[in-house]
Amino acid sequence: MTDPTDRVPDSELIHRAQVGETEAFDELMKRYNQAVYRLAYSMTRNHADAEDICQDTFIRAYRAIKRFDDRFRFYTWLHRICVNLCINLFRRRGRVRLTSLPGTEAGAEWADIADPREDAGAAELRRDLDRAIARLPDDQRAVFVLRVKEELSYGEISKLLGIPMGTVMSRLNRAREKLRELLRDYLPSRAS
Amino acid sequence: MSRDCRRVEGLLGRFVDGELDEQQAEWVGRHIDSCPGCRQKLAEFEAVDRLFREKDEPPRLAEEYWDWHRSQVWRAIRTVRRRQREGARTLRFTWMRAASVAAGAAVVLIAAIGGWRLLQRQVAVPVTVAEEPVERGAGEARVTSGGGRQAIAAGEPVAESKSADLSRQEHRSDKPAAGLARSADELKVETEVMADADGLPEAGAAADRQSTVETREKVAGRIAARGQAGTGEAEVFTAVQAPTAPGQAGVDSGLKKEGEQPAEVLTTCDRAPEVLEIGILPRVSPDETVTVFLRVLVEPDGSVSQVELEQASGTELLDSLAVLNVRQARFRAGYLGSEPARCWVRLVQQFDAEEPADSEQDNQ
């Protein structure tokens, strides 16, 4: 593993990618594809959509890299592209979502053999979390993911999704209330 | 619940997220210290967030996947670049395209004028045209030999047997355009060629006929295959669609099928099937979102062959509606490698709650 201090800074890679050096963009992709995939998966809750969105994010980033403003963080920019693609997908699909079946998830051939989550209890928890969040309407899930997993502020979410702050708050409240109901077994009991 | 508790409830999310101003946060903090109910709710909110922050992860994928993933991105980028290059080239030669379009238009115009003149001459030699069906040996065509003009006026194809070869009709309908630029003298020879229904002279027409035959065979094959398909699947379909027994029968049949999965059902498709088109479910409750989890078997041709209820909504009618909606949806098949394959996919069908118009502004 390379020493992180040896890492070429993002800004340099971006500059090189802007003048057409494909290796530089490839390196950026290596750095961020898992983070982008994680975000896409959190939003869509299925591998196929997450994979498509992750790929589209980098394709769009590559096409627009010359317009990238280096005052911003590269991941913030990718993040924005990815969220917009997710929102577009939700709009296109209406109220329909696809989720992978446990056996088909991510394609068995790509699954990491050394996955430590083989533990049955952990797998069950993950499945329950997956189901609970899949039950949220897309708009509530998007706000919840951006706040809780991506740790964006209300203002940032409001700007990113183009909705008023009050809407961010009410959607987040609804999402938390619903998740609280669905995950009651995993929450601290009243006695404690 | 006291008035303070209700107020705190509305602010709790913002308190957890650190989005309250100092004064409000202090007040909420004081209330929570003194109220076990609100303290419990706060603990639950924090626990929900913690669970998702720490335990909810996407599937962990092998390093090779990410190499493959990057290669896919590069492939797509190359395709886009190639298209852009082609687009640029096309733009450079716009003037050439304009010239060729103009030349094409001129040719069409000349052909149309020639054709019009030819048609007028054709009317002047009716016997030549009318006699051709006689040579084809059709009984009723002989009758027209004495009054060929009427036969033309009446529309000869109508006079032909209903079992007349489709390809001949197709060919005939193509002919006027092909013959427009030719002389009237050539017309007789040409109609003789037309009469040879089995020996279509043009490759294009032959291909058309071939494709028509192929399409028919495919459709016939599909119908036959459907007829031979297991009765179990047919039962599911019928039961689900029967409006008199909504949900119950279809759902039961679907569940019955679970134990008898065909051995060839793929469980590891590389790419899951995707919904291309599906109906929007109605909003059924003013305050509750109703969700139905379904398992759908999508065939390589994109058709749905089986729908199973994985998690019911608790309302049979809604389950049934969800199943029916999926049955009528259009899918893109899943893929195994580069081939479309038979894949299961889980589908979440949701009947959204009505959102009160003013609720979004409540917390503003």
State phi, psi for B261 to the nearest 5 degrees.
Answer: -60, 135
Residues B181 and B248 in one domain: no
Whether B361 maps to a domain, the answer reads no
Residues A81 and A7 in one domain: yes
Quick one: average pLDDT of B4-14?
88
Whether B74 maps to a domain, the answer reads no
Residues A6 and A92 in one domain: yes
Q: Is the ipTM of this complex over 0.85?
A: no
Domain range for A134: 118-185
Quick one: average pLDDT of B209-230?
41
Residues B141 and B189 in one domain: yes
For the cut 50, the answer to whether the pLDDT of residue B118 exceeds it is yes
Residues A96 and A65 in one domain: yes
Rounded (5°) CA angle A126-A128-A133: 95
Task: DSSP letter for B243, please.
Answer: T
Whether A192 maps to a domain, the answer reads no
As for how many domains chain B has, the answer is 3
Bridge partners for B293 per DSSP: B311, B348
Residues A78 and A167 in one domain: no
A137, B350: Cβ pair inside 8 Å?
A: yes
Whether A191 maps to a domain, the answer reads no
The more confident residue out of A68 and B282 is: A68
Top mean pLDDT of A15-19, B2-6, B297-301 is at A15-19
Residues B196 and B273 in one domain: no
What average pLDDT is seen over chain B?
Answer: 63
C-alpha span between B147 and B152 (Å, rounded): 9
Residues B188 and B286 in one domain: no
Say if CB A33 and CB A41 are below 8 A apart: no
Residues B322 and B245 in one domain: yes
Say if CB B76 and CB A55 are below 8 A apart: yes
As for how many domains chain A has, the answer is 2
Whether A13 maps to a domain, the answer reads yes
Say if CB A90 and CB A142 are below 8 A apart: yes
C-alpha span between B149 and B131 (Å, rounded): 10
Quick one: average pLDDT of B295-311?
87
A125, B55: Cβ pair inside 8 Å?
A: yes
A104, B272: Cβ pair inside 8 Å?
A: yes
Q: What CATH number does residue A163 fall under?
A: 1.10.10.10
C-alpha span between A84 and B235 (Å, rounded): 43
Quick one: average pLDDT of B223-249?
31
Domain boundary among A107, A127, A153: A107
Q: How confident is the model at residue B200 (pLDDT cuts 50, 70, 90)?
A: very low
Chain B environment of A26 (Cβ under 8 Å): 70, 74
A110, B65: Cβ pair inside 8 Å?
A: yes
Q: What does the pLDDT read at residue B280?
A: 75
Whether A176 maps to a domain, the answer reads yes
For the cut 80, the answer to whether the pLDDT of residue B14 exceeds it is yes
Whether B312 maps to a domain, the answer reads yes
- Name residue, tokens 């039962």: B235
Q: How confident is the model at residue B25 (pLDDT cuts 50, 70, 90)?
A: very high
Q: What single letter denotes the amino acid at residue A80?
A: R
Measured in angstroms, the CA of A58 and the nearest CA of chain B are apart by 7
Of B59, B278, B291, the CB nearest to A47: B59
Q: What does the pLDDT read at residue B279?
A: 76
The more confident residue out of A119 and B62 is: B62
Q: What does the pLDDT read at residue A77?
A: 92
Residues A103 and A124 in one domain: no
Chain A environment of B14 (Cβ under 8 Å): 154, 169
Say if CB A103 and CB B268 are below 8 A apart: yes
Residues B235 and B187 in one domain: no
Residues A27 and A2 in one domain: yes
Domain range for B127: 107-205
- Name residue, tokens 């790419």: B271
Q: What does the pLDDT read at residue A65?
A: 92
User: In whole angstroms, what separates CA B34 from the centre of its chain?
Assistant: 59
Whether B278 maps to a domain, the answer reads yes
Q: What CATH number does residue B307 fall under?
A: 3.30.2420.10
Residues B271 and B199 in one domain: no
Q: What does the pLDDT read at residue B49?
A: 93
Question: DSSP for A29-76?
Answer: HHHHHHHHHHHHHHHH-SHHHHHHHHHHHHHHHHHHGGG--TTS-HHH
Q: What does the pLDDT read at residue A26?
A: 94
C-alpha span between B285 and B290 (Å, rounded): 8
Whether B261 maps to a domain, the answer reads yes
Q: What does the pLDDT read at residue A30?
A: 94
Say if CB B294 and CB B310 are below 8 A apart: yes
Residues A71 and A147 in one domain: no
CA-based nearest residue in chain A for residue B311: A131
Q: What does the pLDDT read at residue B339?
A: 83
Q: How confident is the model at residue B92 (pLDDT cuts 50, 70, 90)?
A: low
Whether A14 maps to a domain, the answer reads yes
Of A121, A133, A44, A139, the residue nearest A86 (C-alpha): A44
Residues B251 and B320 in one domain: yes
Q: How confident is the model at residue B330 (pLDDT cuts 50, 70, 90)?
A: confident
Quick one: average pLDDT of B316-323?
85
Whether B319 maps to a domain, the answer reads yes
For the cut 50, the answer to whether the pLDDT of residue B203 exceeds it is no
Percent of chain B with pLDDT over 90: 9
Whether B356 maps to a domain, the answer reads no
Top mean pLDDT of A61-70, A117-126, B185-194, B213-222 is at A61-70
B352, A137: Cβ pair inside 8 Å?
A: yes
Quick one: average pLDDT of B339-358?
73
Residues A172 and A149 in one domain: yes
Quick one: average pLDDT of B88-115?
76
Whether A124 maps to a domain, the answer reads yes
CA-based nearest residue in chain A for residue B49: A148
Domain boundary among A79, A107, A135: A107
Q: What CATH number does residue A66 fall under?
A: 1.10.1740.10
The more confident residue out of B95 and B143 is: B95
Of B45, B77, B348, the CB nearest to A62: B77
Residues A58 and A151 in one domain: no
Q: What are the pLDDT digits (tens) for A120-151?
A: 777 788 888 888 988 888 889 999 999 999 88
Whether B217 maps to a domain, the answer reads no
Task: DSSP letter for A116, please.
Answer: G
Residue A95's H or E segment, with its range, is none
For the cut 90, the answer to whether the pLDDT of residue B61 exceeds it is no
Q: How confident is the model at residue B88 (pLDDT cuts 50, 70, 90)?
A: low
Residues A26 and A100 in one domain: yes
Whether A190 maps to a domain, the answer reads no
Residues B168 and B236 in one domain: no
For the cut 80, the answer to whether the pLDDT of residue B269 exceeds it is no
Of A115, A134, A153, the CB nearest to B60: A115
Residues B121 and B183 in one domain: yes
Residues A172 and A130 in one domain: yes
Give the pairing type, strands B343-351 and A97-99. antiparallel
Of B181, B81, B198, the residue nearest B136 (C-alpha): B198
Task: DSSP letter for B314, please.
Answer: S
Residues A44 and A18 in one domain: yes
List C-alpha distances in Å: A136 to A120, A189, B52, B268. Answer: 25, 23, 14, 27
Domain boundary among A57, A81, A107: A107
Q: How confident is the model at residue A78 (pLDDT cuts 50, 70, 90)?
A: very high
Q: What single letter denotes the amino acid at residue B312?
A: A
